[in-house]
Amino acid sequence: MKHLLLLLSLCLLAGFARSQALAINGTVSVDNASVEGSILSITRNDEPFREITLDRRGRFELKFPFDAEYVLTFKKTGYISKIVNINTEAPEEIIESNPDFKPIKLIIHLLPTVENIDLSIFEQPVAILSYDPELDDFYFNKEYSQTVGVRIKETENSIKKILSQRGKEIMERDNKFNDLTTQGETAYSAKKWKEAINFWNQALAIKRDDEHVKTRIADAQREMTAEEEAVRKAAEEAEKAKQEAKRRDELMGRYREIIALADKAFDNLNYSIARAHYVDADALQTGEAYPQERIKEIDQIINSSKYKKQLEDYNSNIALAEKEMKAKNYAGAKVYYTDALQALPMNKDEVNRKIEEINKLIEAENLAAIEKEYKENIEKADKNYNEKAYAVARFYYQKALEVKKGDAYAQKRLSEMESMINDRTEKTIEL
């Protein structure tokens, strides 16, 4: 049989029969796997004799005493066990006269267990070794080997065919697995974490226990989490920057509003109000130097003797103007307001507004006086008109026209009286 190399030779045994033994050695190999952990179980005359756990070399060396039947079972989990029967019985005289039998070497190859294959052939020995009197040595039974060997060969060929197909599938699977892991690495190098994880998950579906792929998925997930965290932090920083910019814009808007008020007061020489606004603007802490510069400038101005004298004159005139206003001496108030602006042209808009109000009041007073005088003249004129004292009436209507030039009512009455007076002065005499 192809997978069993059975080397048989005679062995010279020294000493007495009870110490004589047949040497058996060899190696075990396992298809596409390590032989380490394989078991060689031995029975002697149907009783447990010895069990050997093979190392990665798969080698074994045994000595079996004569006059016994041994069964060697070679097995490994997931693989088809193989049984070898060894019968060391031989004539006593042969052992005593010629005990020097050469060692028997066994080369055993185990194939994986496969489904849908009848493996019952392996429930019986794949070979039987016993003493052959004709050859005066221990040999494997040829007839048995030929009979069983055919079935074993057919079965092993079927197994190999399945294993070959399985090997192709495994190769295709491995190639696909390797391709997916490579694509995953390419995506990972390009920092396409989700894509890499997708490729590696597909690879893991092929080899679920691949620790390297599991580690790489964990690496990509860690990188993706770190990147998402970085994006989140960047978004937070951007939002903070946006809010800070908004706050800064609002702050500068408020700053500009206060500065506008301060500059207006400064231009109007209202330094105390201007200074207060500049202080408020500086308190906003915008980093602008302008408010402090203006404050220093104002302090220099208001601390000068010239300004103090101007401010004193201004306040004095304003006080006098307000006093005259209360007394309704509008003309006097106007003079003091004007003198105040000449002393120090501060609060010009307010002072000019008051002067404008005074002008209106004076005009109103003048109009009221005119109206009063006009009314008095009209009343006297109308009274005399009604009493037909036309000459007197004409006098007062003319006075009314002097107060209100072009007054239509007075002119109409004068026209009417002219004809009446002419009628009354006409004298007709009949003789």
pLDDT value of residue 424: 60
- The SS3 call for residue 322 is helix
| Burial track 171-206 (b if 16+ CB lie within 10 A, e otherwise) | eeeeeebeebbebbeebbeeebbebbbbbbebbbee
Q: Could you give the CA distance from residue 295 to residue 274 in angstroms, rounded to a whole number?
A: 9
pLDDT at 84: 96
Residue 270 confidence (pLDDT): 86
CB atoms < 10 A from the CB of 117, how many? 14
The Cα 301–Cα 311 span in angstroms is 11
Q: How much is the pLDDT for 430?
A: 52
- How many other C-beta atoms are found inside a 10 Å radius of the C-beta of residue 26? 23
Q: What is the CA radius of gyration of the chain?
A: 67
How would you label 315-325 residue by residue, b for 16+ Cβ within 10 Å and e otherwise?
Answer: eebbebbeebb
Tell me the pLDDT of the chain (431 aa) as tens digits.
Answer: 333 333 333 232 333 334 479 999 999 999 989 999 999 999 999 999 999 999 999 999 999 999 999 999 999 999 999 999 999 999 988 888 877 788 999 999 999 998 888 899 999 999 999 999 888 889 999 889 888 888 888 898 888 888 888 778 878 888 999 999 999 999 999 999 999 999 999 999 988 999 999 999 999 999 999 988 999 999 999 999 999 899 999 999 999 999 999 999 888 888 889 999 999 999 999 999 999 999 999 999 889 998 888 889 989 998 999 999 898 888 888 898 899 888 888 788 888 898 898 888 887 877 888 888 989 998 998 999 899 888 899 999 899 889 888 888 888 888 888 877 766 655 444 54
The pLDDT score that the predictor gives to residue 403 is 84
In the block, which residue shows the tokens 């075990």?
Answer: 28
How far is CA 417 from each of CA 307, 337, 421, rounded to the nearest angstrom? 68, 50, 6
